Amino acid sequence: MPALLMFLYGLASYAFFLGTFLYTIAFIGNFPMMPRTIDAGPAVPAAEALAVNLALLAVFAVQHSVMARRGFKRLWTRVVPEAIERSTYVLAATLALALLVWQWRPIPALVWNITQPAAILAFDVVFWLGWLVLFTSTFLINHFELFGLRQVWSRLTGLAIPDPEFRTPLLYRHVRHPLYLGFMLSFWATPRMTAGHLLFALGCSGYILVGIWFEERDLVAQFGDRYRAYRERVSILLPWPRKRLDKSPAQR
């Protein structure tokens, strides 16, 4: 595949991801101007909604879990050029996310409903704080490489991508997975929790915890004792006080 075509493919995959992800923020936040949100959509019996939503969550989780593994990547790059492997992952993940948002079935039964203005404001602050933590975390670990743009740019320009370093910038000095912490905050911070939203939050949180286990296994395989030591000193998701990190490098 010509380098320019790879670059355009990477740009298109990123643009599709960004548009879908921004819509997903509105979807989870139940923005009233959106045609579909987590609590607004076609009304169907609860059993049907549960079955459809579980299937959508399963598709999303399996796609992410399988394609993110290092063993799959080694096999996959025999078919797909290495320069667009990440962009292809981003495209597949975005398609799975778009399918979930498009086909999600609301389950309106209330789990809790907070009406006090101060409490609603607090939930809203946590919701947006979660997305801020998430986006900040992507830039701390190289946003453009995470979403495949650096790889296609490198292929186009002929510039080599340095080998991964292990260091801990900013948020990574306090929790090992601030990106996932951001997701969790945003999934759960709602003043009006319906059964459908609860199912979404539980399913995504469970997937995140399983995904962390696989990701940390890969990181130990990649960085060895440096990551083991980091794991001993820094909490997984919540910034509990632990031993101070030394000044040795650490980052994914």
The two structure tokens encoding residue 89: 């992952």
Residue with tokens 């794991």: 231
Query: 178-188 and 3-28 helices cross at what angle (nearest 10)?
Result: 40
pLDDT at 66: 83
Least confident of 145-154, 226-235, 238-247: 238-247
Residue with tokens 């991964």: 164
pLDDT tens digits, residue range 155-187?
Answer: 999 988 888 888 899 999 999 999 999 999 999
pLDDT at 244: 52
Dist CA 155 CA 226 (whole Å):
30
Q: Are 200 and 38 in contact (CB under 8 A)?
A: yes
Q: How far is CA 60 from the centre of its chain?
A: 11
Phi-psi group of 142: left, alpha or beta (phi > 0 → left; psi -120 to 50 → alpha; rest → beta): left
pLDDT at 214: 87
246: confidence class by pLDDT, cuts 50, 70, 90: very low
Q: In this model, does residue 247 exceed pLDDT 60?
A: no
What are the structural domain ranges in the chain? 3-233
pLDDT tens digits, residue range 113-162?
Answer: 999 999 999 999 999 999 999 999 999 989 999 999 999 999 999 988 88
pLDDT tens digits, residue range 79-93?
Answer: 889 999 999 999 999
Dist CA 22 CA 240 (whole Å):
31
Beta bridge partners of 193: 112
Residue closest to 167 by CA, chosen among 247, 68, 231, 70: 247
Least confident of 56-60, 105-109, 119-123, 209-213: 209-213
- Count Cβ atoms within 10 A of the Cβ of residue 33 and give its class: 0-12 exposed, 13-18 middle, 19 or more buried: exposed
Beta carbons within 10 angstroms of residue 59's beta carbon: 16
Average pLDDT, whole number, for the chain?
91
Beta carbons within 10 angstroms of residue 244's beta carbon: 9
Beta carbons within 10 angstroms of residue 12's beta carbon: 12
pTM, to two decimals:
0.90
Residue closest to 175 by CA, chosen among 220, 216, 225: 216
252: confidence class by pLDDT, cuts 50, 70, 90: very low
Dist CA 113 CA 96 (whole Å):
30
Sign, CA torsion 85/64/234/219: negative
The two structure tokens encoding residue 183: 């997701």
Dist CA 221 CA 59 (whole Å):
27
